[in-house]
A and B are shown apart, each in its own frame.
Chain A
Amino acid sequence: MTIDKITLSVIQAGLQQVCDEMDLSFSRAAFSPVISEANDRSDGIYAADNGDLIAQGIGGLPVFVGTMEYSTRELIRLINEGKVDRPNEKDIYIVNDPYIGGTHLMDVRFVKPYFRKGKIFCWLSNTGHWPDIGGSVPGGFSASATAVEQEGLRLPPVKLFKKGRLDNEIYSIICSNIRVADQRIGDVKAQEAALLVGEERLNFLLDKYGDEVVQNSISFLRQTACNQMKSFIQEIPNGVYKSSAWVDSDGVINEPLEIKLVITKKDEELEFDFSGSSKPCKGPMNSVLATTLSSVYLAIRHIFPEVPINGGAFIPLKVKRPLNTFLDAHYPRPVSGCAAEVSQRIAEAIFIALVEVLPSRVTAAPAGTSGNFALGGFNEESNSDFVMYQLSGGGYGGNADHDGLANGCSTIGISKAPPVEIMEQKFPVLYHHYALHEGSGGAGKQRGGFGLDYKLEILCKNAQASFVMDHGRYGPQGVMGGMDGQVNVVNVDQSNKVYTPIHLSKEQDIQLTKGDTVHVKTPGGGGYGSPYDRDELLVLQDVKEKKYSIKEAIELFGVSIKENDLKINQKETKLLRQKK
């Protein structure tokens, strides 16, 4: 059966629409702000026989771009091996096991077989980040877990809904093992509702165009996405491209973890070899294979956003399994840092390796950390426990066209940070400032964006602070002669004694008391091109705005600015810039 190209375009848009509507329904009905506000969720359609990604919502969290495909594949395998119960109509499986296609335990996947005339036509699946999944730390981001059991409840694929009915026994086991369980029912129903919406819309599409036409279109679309990716890859000259990126530490042993990447471009394919990377680590900075793959896919999608999200696009991307490295974690390695931090370092390695051959598509390194600061304690005023998260952004990398964005979202996320006013309403904290991290953007012809600089005071008697951040040791990398962005800095003032975490960006349960302060400066983005080529007037404007000091203008950019009238000293500038 041949399908005309017009029908293909229409069905492609139709499948995309089904996923976008699932995404929207999930967010609108969800209770957890992580899902409803931060959109830390994703919805997709997967092939019946092998779990290949057919379509995924455009507003889904980027890091889920490859994990759900992996996890649907694993589910199908386990069913075929008789290890998981076979699907009936209206069943929904729940699973969060990281080792069979996940990220961290908080990312809970629902998978629903979509039946058509008594046979499975495809799978619908979604992932939602639950605000808690049990484990040693509220919220799940332990900085120093050494086994997955410390990170929370691990669910193998089981049917949470059997023929459309919620299994209250499984549900009560879950509720007994997680914090703030009373509101979970709202989120579970929202996650279910999104799949039901997807089913309804898919029925509509199949009824209109016919099962066979849609099925054949899916195969063709897979091929066209593959071709599209190949034609983009061909922009890159054949050759070998190398880079490294470093995670500060695993949170337990204070040594940097290296991501060592060798990309080989041959004709229509890109091969990613991470085999020289650090060994599996003791702390929670291990990445499961699904997350490693997903990080590669999302980085490439940041570079070629035009390619539609479907499994065909991944075919030309060959990732060698990085056996015996921290990028291929096996049970019981702890993994809570993989989705938020390690994934971003993998993306950074890919950006750095490819920027010189794709200079207008790739930027210098972005801040690349989710900047997770968690504060837990007892709020005397409301007479209740609290857990607060301050997620923060950082500077983006400079690029061929413009300076990097300030306070951008993490590379793998799309979520907004809450306003200071709402944080102060909800939690016993008082912000002293919330400002640009001055001087943090890596110098360059196009400089990196600036990070965030905030300081807050604890207003309750006892609280514990935890940090899972990164780029505290080395700043985000500059490219093409640009300089690195400034590093992430954490300082905790405990009764007028300033303490800096030994691992710089990671530490768990720092005891704080009333009046203590936490001061965080997030990384700036890397610079792009030589700072000596930066337009003098742009340097001057940045100095006028006190984004860099006069001293920095001289030292970093070779531009001399007179202190009295803030005008450029042309003669000295010429001299300085000649010397480079």
Chain B
Amino acid sequence: MKKTDIVIIGAGAVGSALARELAKYKLDVTVVEKNEDLGGDSSKSNSAIIHTGYDAKPGTLESQLVVAANPMYDKLTKDLDIPFSRIGALLPAFTEEQFEQLPALKHKAMMNRVYDIEYLTGEQTLKMEPNLNPEVKGSLYIPRESIIDPFLLCIALAENAADNGVHFMLGTKCTGIKVEEGAVTTVQTTAGDIQTKYVINAAGLYCDEIAGYVGKADYYVTPRKGQFYILDKNTSCKVGMIILPIPTKITKGKLMCPTIHGNMLVGPTAEDMLDKQDKSTNAAGLESIATDVRKMIPNVNLRDTITQYSGLRAQRNPEGLNIDVYDDLKGYVNISGVRSTGLTGSVAIAKYVVDLMIEGGMKAEFKTNFNPIRKGTPIFAELSNEERAALIAKDPRYGNIICRCETVTEGQICDAIHRTLGARSVDGVKRRLRAGMGRCQGGFCGPRVIEILARELGIAPEEVRKNDPGSEMLTGKAR
């Protein structure tokens, strides 16, 4: 039987951040992820914002961890070589009623220790974002609200953890946890049992099911669907910052912001669902985004959309971020209620959990050889012509552009496949490099990416998948 010190269930943002945090210690750590690739479920389909926590409920664990996490991203994203931008957010008020809410929102931010929030007049607001509805009466400006690539964050955290010794078992589902004499002993998985001292439940959307295996499901999780539009980089009406609506009781509302790669992101809806796998979009939801966002940005051109997607937030019932350890269940940590702020919070949650475990008596000695630095695949599209020429001279495959829309080369695709925890599928390539994420959505590069994946992985083209087993791209050979 496989033996390890700690099993982390889930390789979403929280699981990956935990893996990297624990990689700093002399511990044997294993991550079990049901999906074939990193990034979990909720972590890869969201608004890709690193929040400040200005609007969290003051005094909560969520407020504490999100507020603490935000400043960590400057160094972290440098260390992990992933894009990150502090573009700031605006919270504009268009009606008297909304305008009257601004002082309370500002006060809430102060309660959350987000002191750098500023009030702007309507005129100042329009000057910063000329495409806003000119009716704007004033706004709150939150300079540290930031954007990131959520796939790359998870992938880079996990990759760096793996390079520092953490084992990842992808495509492996946890099917049970054995408890003996009040302590966890074994994690049962589709790839066999793993003997362990600790289990951390970072299963997000499915954390209630995992908690059920050890009788700690005193809550349940429902998926809350959020649908989004991605607009072409050349769309006529753009914004430079995150434009947030004044929140209602139910949701933070529908926002518009640039993505870290220069597209526009518009959404999300907030629809309470039953099926944790239903990531479909629907006409009514997409229509509601159009209606709502036009109130803030009247000229937003949703006809410039290149894709729509939906993500599922893990809505805990009862609400709230909870990180629990139990006197009657040694070695088990339960993380639940990680919702839309989870991407931001992940790195602080990881630190908090590890501290909790050490405080609880876990023996953890610092490694001397932990390497926090990860070097990503070169982003050809962002290089200068001189840098490009140098790269091609070193490896001619960088001269072969496969994805025209996002300028992704064969060299990058090969690197993404062969690096630690590399791409195994068409979506894997897409999420790491953006090949197929542009305006033609893989129309041109799709067939080439299939060929390259098959060649580099040494499999038949008809075995190449979009993502998980069952998502084969092709049904066989023509001849």
Q: Do A and B come from one complex?
A: no
